[in-house]
Homo-oligomer: A and B are copies of this chain.
Amino acid sequence: VALQRVRLDIEYDGTDYAGWQVQPRQATVQGVLEHALGLVLRRQVRLVGAGRTDAGVHATGQVAHADLPFPLDYRRIKAGINALTPASVVVTAIREASARFDARRSATGRAYVYRLATRPVAYGRQYLWSVHSAPSLAAMQRCARTLPGVHDFVSFCVARSAPKGTRCRVLEAKWGRAGAELRFRIVADRFVHGMVRSLVGSMVEVGLGRMTPEAFESLLKSGRRRGTGPAAPAEGLCLTRVFYPDDRPA
């Protein structure tokens, strides 16, 4: 069969999944999508995702590529996949891509948003970390301002082999208010494992006065592996966008 490389845009509620990447005997987002694609196309198809989100992490802007038989009606393929996946996983778009397009390697940046509530929350709690007191936005923003640029994020990396190292270029890092919520948005060329949750956990410690902004900055500069705050829980984190050369906002 002739094959066509396609780009898939994917949204998911990560609550019930052991993350993006296929793992034996676990429900994963990649797993349910490859299973649905297999049923629709009657052949095994492998997906390559741009961001390997962890267990419980959500995505509104995940991107993956796959090689599908050609020619095909991709709108029907999309409808077929969405009919076969649980409601917690949706393919929002499928389109033909260049044979050189690689969802992971072609990506020039990824954006994550972390959502924080400063009181117990029932409505929307699947997507928020409820901190039962109000951290100082100014103190957290002071930490965020130290992040842009190239740093070694070894202090904020969950111990695990990092074959490509732990240096990342942060392009944007900012706290803001959205109604009663506090939201942290970070864009970087790449992320090391557990990085956003570790950064948010430590910044919240600073916001609550349990760590100084100087101690946070020193963790960033020193590369020490001790002294970070506990990682923020997965449910507040969402992969919102993957950037590619010449692409426009979806």
Contact = CB atoms under 8 A, between A and B. Distances in A.
Interface string A80-95: 0010000111101000
Contacts of A123: 11-13, 58-60, 127, 238
A126 interface: yes
Chain A, interface size category, equals 20 to 34
Interface in A62-107: 82, 87-90, 92
A121 interface: yes
Contacts of A122: 11-13, 87-90
Nearest to A11: B122
The A contact surface, by secondary structure, is mixed
Contacts of A124: 13, 124, 127
Contacts of A12: 122-123
A224 interface: no
A230 interface: no
28 contacts: A11-B121, A11-B122, A11-B123, A12-B122, A12-B123, A13-B122, A13-B123, A13-B124, A13-B125, A58-B123, A59-B123, A60-B123, A82-B120, A87-B122, A87-B125, A88-B122, A88-B125, A89-B122, A90-B120, A90-B121, A90-B122, A92-B119, A92-B120, A123-B127, A123-B238, A124-B124, A124-B127, A126-B126
Given A13-B123, A13-B124, 18 more contacts: A11-B121, A11-B122, A11-B123, A12-B122, A13-B122, A59-B123, A60-B123, A82-B120, A88-B122, A88-B125, A89-B122, A90-B120, A90-B121, A90-B122, A92-B119, A92-B120, A123-B238, A124-B124
